[in-house]
Structure 1
Amino acid sequence: MLLQRIGNSGIGLGTLLDRAAARHPANVVVLDHDLDVAPELGRRCTVAELADLVDDLASRLWAAKVRPGERVVVYKSDGFDIPLLAFAAARIGAVPVLLSPKLDGGTAAELLRRARPAYLLTDRAKLDAELPPTVHELAERILLAAGEHPDAVGLRALAGTPRVPAVTMPPDHPALVTHTSGTTGIPKMAVHTGRTLLARYRPQATAAALVRRRETVAVHVSFVHSRMVSAMAITLLRGAPLLILADEDPAHVAELFARLRPGVIEAHPNSFMLWEELADDPREPLANVRYFSSTFDAIHPRTIHRLLTASRRRSPRFAQLYGQSETGPVVGRTYTRRWTGGTDGRCVGMPFPGMTDVRVVSRDGRPPSPSSPGYIEVRSDGRAVTFLGEPERYRQQVDGDWWRMGDVGYRTRWGCLHLLDREVDIVPGFGSTLVAEDTLLARLADLTEVVVVPDPDGRAVPVVCTRNDRPLDLDAWRTAAADLPPMAPPVHWRLDELPHTATTKIKRLELARILASRNGDR
């Protein structure tokens, strides 16, 4: 039913909110921040109001000379208006290219160069403080979502422009460009079509059918990620209230959850780790949660257990979907309170029948196993069609219908996929760093993060963060690590010192480089 509501020819980003408003015009969206493009709208609005805002913004982009098929690179200060601006660009047939506000200005300029010819939609803060002067030559025209600049066109100055009809593009035409996490360098820019976006929603729409219609859905994911688009489509087309979070601070989140009582929460794995402390909040902000959902990466068993035990619902579930920006979700599984981690903490699930498939290819001629993990490859109709500006880099990951994920693991006799490491993060002779991290987090309650990376000599170095930055109990650490592969002494950092991607993943290669640099300076 949900897929019928979306349509069979493509996701139709530009009219998504129109269709949601036609069915549930009074449904509400609650924000924890003001929109730069429309601060007067406030933090509680109806879907009909958001649909009208997108229509208005589309007319302003048209007045700024944006036309069908042209690219609009969106790189602005963080906020929910990022996907709204993407919808507005799509509404007039343009192709939104979404760049995370967490990217530095130089990286954003390089991605703008790859997207040429393209408009740059930014704001005065980014233009003045972060973007290099070269963007004025790289962009066809610079548009401002907020503020004014003598060398840019401000959207606010175009308010009141006559509305223009929506433009329908073919389902196989580029519909959205999002960048990869950038954990291994400059991000790649994945090109999605209306058809591939629709295909990757099917697994998520199937799971959403299990949720009662009026459960409030709270979402805290990167505003430039395709998952934000799918979360909005699935939630609003079903008529469920939506709570959008830009700020992941636990105290802030606890106050909102205690007041609004979401029944479904979608967030990054690292955000859920940060929210473990909500389980101890006397207001019980997680008490009404029926489903927790994480799509971006494997999540630590301790986090799953803590969150599920904080719910007061009869049978809460934690849904984990494994995938990446290029593919969408490809395997998934759910957890209940009865699950304690055990030996399958690295199991990320099974493929979705008729929608996705997975295989593991040997790296050394031996069958993939826990001791000899192989390359994980997947097949999905939701796969991006190319990398913008880097088609050869895209082809290097393709083997017919199969896509190399860049991870290593194995499948059990029952077909469950076990994720052990990123290919580039393997520490020779150590085994799975993720398994070691899971074990340490399960045994040491005071840890809020642990990341095992190699030093220049190939030794495994654990970088640890603790609750409230308390000193690490070294005796407890030695006991917890006694049966794990040998590691260097732990290095204690603050959580905000760790380099993160737009989806809050740890940039392990960059962390290893920073660690080596600091040690070299001593």
Structure 2
Amino acid sequence: MFTYDPTAYRNYFEREFTYLAGFRRNTRRYADRVAMTDPATGDRWTYAELGHRVDALAAGLAAAGVRPGDVVVHQLFNGPEFAQLYLATQACGAVGSPVNFRLAAGETAHVLDDSQPTVFVYDTELSDMVAAALERARHRPAVIAAVGPGAPLPGAIPFEELVTPGKPVPEPTRTVYDETTRLYTSGTTGMPKGVPLNSMVEIFSAHDVIMHFPLSPEDRTLNMTPWFHRGGLYSGGPNPAFYLGAEVVPMRAFDPERCLDLVAEHGLTYLIGAPTNLAMLARAQSDRPRDLSALRGIVTMGAPLEREACLHYQELLTPRIFNGYGTTETFWNTFLRPVDLPDHAGAAGRASTDDDVRVVQVHEDRPGRPDERVAQDSTEIGEVIVRSPKAGYAYVNSPAQEAEKFHEGWVHLGDLAVWDAQEYVTIVGRKDDMLISGGENVHPVQVEEALNEHPDIADSLVIGVPDQRWGQRVVAYVIRTDPSLSAADCEAHCRAHPMLAPYKRPRAYRFVDDLPLTATGKKVHYRARTQAVEDDAQGLFETP
């Protein structure tokens, strides 16, 4: 009787079926096809040229002391160097860790101490912040490299010195389960925490985009959001494009006018961004119409797409609008396709092809189990949990938060939702008090701690109010000990605070005598949220 032995298949799959192998296939079969075009300079790289560049950078990283499993942190804007590092770190067996360039110096120092990178690459536009971060950090990377026209910091080298053509290309022994990328996301206190992703996560993420757009080797993509986000790097960014053989067009900073010009002039086929990006694109297209017939779709992430906005974008930009929902830990897990819109606008969509998504009961003393589903009646509220091959299922050096988030193969996202008989999920809020402004997570506790360090502030409460442009605008209620304290004073304090990224600071303040508290003295953010909407409508918040 025949008994199948999967050893040969397992050996191939676990050792050879890597994301990097997929990219290398394209350097041969699509050798002359353009892999990346930099619109800022006009520079282009074919797949063969990009492959040579990646090998030279991988050799340089190895020569600089990077060994398999070592971390390479880079704090860069979208651009060629970011894309090259994404591939080269995998080529030398390292872990590439792109970090938010909007972080404050103290937050960047935390990342350096947490991941202890061998190499740190930064953009010279960030030199002042990076210098302060390096001074605060306990860990000093062995090599610091600078990208950009500015002078490198003392002890740093130009990025090009890491690129060493002709040196031996590393051939590390790694498996599909070894970590390839580490993304940082905000923790419950606001300090960034690392999410480790392996090569299979890279491949499943690429496959997901290829299936859902769908994406083809003939496509040209531009992701309008920063690549350090999961949705930036993986949704139409370098990850799926380089795995498939498509072309990536990086944009250093989002410019709606330039973005639409590139669609018309360069034939971009997919744009990816947040609803705020689409709103700005629509205004730009309305003011100066272009030929957008090359577009095969626009994909939004980070916030629900309202029905009226969806209809407007479909008429003005393209009928093919998509909306994805997910997290840094899990990529996107539900998806709205053009056939779902506009009827299901406002919903997060149904489960992605490879994912299980459920809305389960919420308990005070334990996580909801997968079998404790709430009624599929669009009324009963529960927590969204997912099971996905695109998930990292771990945090770096954060065992307590890891235990809260991951349970028996399921990821508890912290979002509250309802769902219907067809399993369309609609997000209605958060279990915690996190808010999202301009696509970035803001944890009130971190902002409140920073505010409360001001000598004239007794206490504060930070929440978000609806904002047409940013989704939510950060505002603060403040109890002051000195009646002369002004909104401008609070603004100056927040801007100067080393542990508070500028995008997290409140944009308006209201000075009050007390805050809503529980019997045990805990702040009740949800109660203040309703009041803040009313106060904002009445103009009671002071803008610095």
TM-score normalised by the shorter chain: which range applies?
A: 0.7 to 0.9
Aligned pairs for 1:17-416 within 5 A: 17-28=23-34, 29-34=36-41, 42-116=42-116, 118-132=118-132, 133-134=134-135, 137-146=138-147, 147-160=151-164, 162-180=167-185, 185-208=190-213, 210-211=214-215, 213-227=217-231, 228-229=233-234, 231=236, 232-311=238-317, 316-336=319-339, 339-340=341-342, 344-353=344-353, 355-363=354-362, 367=374, 372-416=380-424
Q: CA deviation at 1:318?
A: 1.8
Give the structure 1 partner of residue 486 of structure 2. Answer: none
Give the structure 2 partner of residue 489 of structure 1. Answer: none
Q: CA deviation at 1:31?
A: 1.9
Query: Contact 2:508 / 2:542 at 8 angstroms: preserved in 1?
Result: no
C-alpha spacing 1:128/1:11, structure 2 compared with 1 (3 Å)? farther
Q: CA deviation at 1:334?
A: 0.8
| Deviation larger for 100-109 or 260-269 | 260-269
Query: Contact 1:193 / 1:385 at 8 angstroms: preserved in 2?
Result: no
Q: CA deviation at 1:230?
A: 5.9
The superposition leaves residues 348-387 of structure 1 with CA deviations (integer Å, 9 ceiling, x where unpaired) of 111135x211111223799466555211111112211311
* CA distance in 1 between partners of 2:13 and 2:302 (Å): 26
Identity of aligned residues (%): 20
C-alpha spacing 1:463/1:271, structure 2 compared with 1 (3 Å)? closer
**Aligned residues between the structures:** 436
Q: CA deviation at 1:23?
A: 1.6
C-alpha spacing 1:33/1:407, structure 2 compared with 1 (3 Å)? same
Query: Contact 1:80 / 1:246 at 8 angstroms: preserved in 2?
Result: no
Q: CA deviation at 1:422?
A: 2.6
C-alpha spacing 1:212/1:278, structure 2 compared with 1 (3 Å)? farther
Query: Contact 1:136 / 1:142 at 8 angstroms: preserved in 2?
Result: no
C-alpha spacing 1:30/1:182, structure 2 compared with 1 (3 Å)? farther
C-alpha spacing 1:283/1:123, structure 2 compared with 1 (3 Å)? closer
The superposition leaves residues 489-515 of structure 1 with CA deviations (integer Å, 9 ceiling, x where unpaired) of xxxxxxxxxx9xxxxxx97xx566854
* CA distance in 2 between partners of 1:290 and 1:77 (Å): 26
Q: CA deviation at 1:409?
A: 0.4
* Counterpart code for 1:84: Q
* CA distance in 2 between partners of 1:61 and 1:255 (Å): 37
Query: Contact 2:292 / 2:317 at 8 angstroms: preserved in 1?
Result: yes
Query: Contact 1:220 / 1:248 at 8 angstroms: preserved in 2?
Result: yes
* CA distance in 2 between partners of 1:380 and 1:212 (Å): 23
* CA distance in 2 between partners of 1:117 and 1:311 (Å): 43
SS at match of 2:423: coil
* CA distance in 1 between partners of 2:65 and 2:464 (Å): 54
* CA distance in 1 between partners of 2:379 and 2:463 (Å): 19
Query: Contact 1:17 / 1:48 at 8 angstroms: preserved in 2?
Result: no
* Counterpart code for 2:73: V
TM-score normalised per structure 1: 0.73
Q: CA deviation at 1:181?
A: 5.4
C-alpha spacing 1:286/1:511, structure 2 compared with 1 (3 Å)? farther
The superposition leaves residues 157-210 of structure 1 with CA deviations (integer Å, 9 ceiling, x where unpaired) of 3554513234241111111101125696122210111123323333222224x4
SS at match of 1:138: coil
Query: Contact 2:263 / 2:269 at 8 angstroms: preserved in 1?
Result: no
C-alpha spacing 1:135/1:77, structure 2 compared with 1 (3 Å)? farther
SS at match of 1:387: coil
The superposition leaves residues 433-483 of structure 1 with CA deviations (integer Å, 9 ceiling, x where unpaired) of 9xxxxxxxxxxxxxxxxxxxxx979999544559xxxxxxxxxxxxxxxxx
Query: Contact 2:64 / 2:143 at 8 angstroms: preserved in 1?
Result: no
* Counterpart code for 2:259: V
The answer for unaligned runs of 5 or more in structure 1 is 35-41, 428-432, 434-454, 467-498, 500-505
SS at match of 1:288: coil
* CA distance in 2 between partners of 1:77 and 1:351 (Å): 31
C-alpha spacing 1:274/1:163, structure 2 compared with 1 (3 Å)? farther
* Counterpart code for 2:431: E
Q: CA deviation at 1:276?
A: 1.6
* Counterpart code for 1:175: T
The answer for unaligned runs of 5 or more in structure 2 is 1-8, 365-372, 438-458, 471-494, 496-501, 512-539
C-alpha spacing 1:57/1:13, structure 2 compared with 1 (3 Å)? farther
| Deviation larger for 21-30 or 357-366 | 357-366
Q: CA deviation at 1:397?
A: 1.0
Query: Contact 2:195 / 2:395 at 8 angstroms: preserved in 1?
Result: yes
Give the structure 2 partner of residue 481 of structure 1. Answer: none
Q: CA RMSD in A?
A: 3.7
SS at match of 2:253: coil
Give the structure 2 partner of residue 487 of structure 1. Answer: none
SS at match of 2:432: helix
Q: CA deviation at 1:280?
A: 1.6
